[in-house]
Amino acid sequence: MVAPGDIGAYGYGITAGTGANREDLLDLISNISPYDTPFVTSAPKVKANGVLHQWLVDTLAATSTAGAIEGDNFTYTAYTTTRPSRLTNVSQIFRKDIAVSETQRAVNAAGFKDAYQLELMKGMREIARNIEVRVFNGNGNATAGPTTSTGATETGRLMGNLQNFLTASANVGTYPTTTAAYTLLFASASSSAAVLSTTMFNDALEQAFDNGGNPEQCFASPKLKRQISAFTVTAQNRNIAAIEKKVVAAMDLYFSDFGLIEIVLDRWIPEATNTVTSTAASDCRGQLFFLERAKNRLAWLRPMQHTLVGKLGDSVAGSVLGEVTLEVLAPTANVRLAGVNNRV
């Protein structure tokens, strides 16, 4: 005797890959890999004309309160400290190669119509993300040029990033504490990272202002963004209508004595792994970047573009490629805080 439930639809197979019943496969692909790129998206874009990209920076002479003598003759001073100086960076090639079999392009796939177009879209997002990471992380050739880019080493050029340009005392927060809180990247194990405070935040803005800069953006990692949102700001209130039924615990705009600062959440900012504030907090990789938008640009030697290579046997191939470098027009207009703890 046939048991109840063993007749009808069940006789045609309910397991995927067996029987006559179609599988229930959603025609959608979910991809939660992050690809947001706040700096690459908002930074001004300019044209580069060579692999070695250069620009000039200049300063004014020191201020003087002295008066000129009536009837005095002209005198000339040597331009030794106020002459223009040259900054350089090298272009870096970002590339993603794509190859898809013709069979895969022909089959009826779920979630997309053409596998090649899917990989093309992913490749462009991956390159934009890689540029964003490069802007804030790693060591590059900001001043030395492409010293290891050709020859037997076959090493690709690496553009200098913000860490390479913001290294002088004018660019790095030097908050005076006995724990050497504001040390450069990868400080010695004896140094202790500091928890971000409103004083440190405002000191960085003041330092940029004293140098002639006017930062409008503060790029923060997730942990440091939470610290900024937890700031206790004197004489400032947050008014929320009761009907909204909301609890606001975030700070996206900071009204400082030096202007309005946009707090930009960027998951690619270097972040420490510390969870304590004692001397054991030796991971000093956590950083915070105060940037003046107009002074930090992306100079494209070859704008991002797709090249269809064509048929390779029974597959189709192509490449997404762009060549770009970071242009920091006035490094002292920015400030980088290093050695910041991630404890919230």
pLDDT digits (tens, 9 = 90+) for 219-233: 999 888 888 888 866
255 within domain boundaries: yes
pLDDT of residue 32: 59
**Burial status of residue 37 (CB atoms within 10 A of its CB: 0-12, 13-18, 19 or more):** buried
pLDDT tens for each residue of 110-120: 676 788 888 88
Distances in Å between the Cα of 212 and the Cα atoms of 84, 173, 174, 329 are 16, 16, 18, 13
pLDDT of residue 324: 95
pLDDT tens for each residue of 152-179: 356 788 999 998 888 766 676 644 333 3
Q: Is the pLDDT of residue 261 over 60?
A: yes
pLDDT tens for each residue of 183-208: 333 333 445 667 788 888 888 898 88
Neighbours of 209 (CB within 10 A): 17
15 within domain boundaries: no
66 within domain boundaries: no
Q: Specify the range with the lowest mean pLDDT, choosing from 83-92, 153-162, 241-250, 280-289.
A: 241-250
289's CB contacts (< 8 A; 6+ apart) are 136, 162, 166, 218, 219, 269, 334, 335, 336, 337
In this prediction, residues 240-258 reach a mean pLDDT of 66
Q: Give strand pairing partners of 92.
A: 324
Q: Cα–Cα distance between 155 and 172 in angstroms, integer?
A: 30
How distant is the alpha carbon of residue 287 from its chain centre?
12
Structure tokens at 143: 């001043």
218 within domain boundaries: yes
In this prediction, residues 309-318 reach a mean pLDDT of 86
Q: Cα–Cα distance between 262 and 143 in angstroms, integer?
A: 30
Q: Is the pLDDT of residue 342 over 80?
A: no
pLDDT of residue 85: 83
53's CB contacts (< 8 A; 6+ apart) are 88, 89, 90, 91, 299, 301, 325, 327
Q: Is the pLDDT of residue 65 over 60?
A: yes
196 within domain boundaries: yes
Q: Cα–Cα distance between 317 and 312 in angstroms, integer?
A: 7
Is the Cβ–Cβ distance between 328 and 165 less than 8 Å? Answer: yes
In this prediction, residues 270-277 reach a mean pLDDT of 71
Helix or strand or coil: residue 53? strand
Is the Cβ–Cβ distance between 51 and 159 less than 8 Å? Answer: no
73 within domain boundaries: no
pTM for the whole thing? 0.79
pLDDT of residue 294: 92
57 within domain boundaries: no
Q: Cα–Cα distance between 174 and 180 in angstroms, integer?
A: 9
What rounded mean pLDDT belongs to the chain? 76
First to last CA, the chain: 67
Tally of domains in the chain = 1
313 within domain boundaries: yes
Q: Cα–Cα distance between 325 and 131 in angstroms, integer?
A: 9
Which residue range(s) make up the domain with 293?
91-138+158-338
pLDDT of residue 150: 37
Q: Specify the range with the lowest mean pLDDT, choosing from 155-159, 177-181, 264-268, 314-318.
A: 177-181
pLDDT tens for each residue of 75-109: 877 766 667 888 899 999 999 998 888 887 787 77
pLDDT of residue 167: 78
Q: Is the pLDDT of residue 217 over 90?
A: yes
Distances in Å between the Cα of 299 and the Cα atoms of 75, 102, 217 are 41, 37, 20
Where would I find the H helices in the chain? 38-42, 102-106, 115-136, 162-165, 198-210, 222-229
Q: What is the DSSP letter of 121?
A: H
pLDDT of residue 314: 85
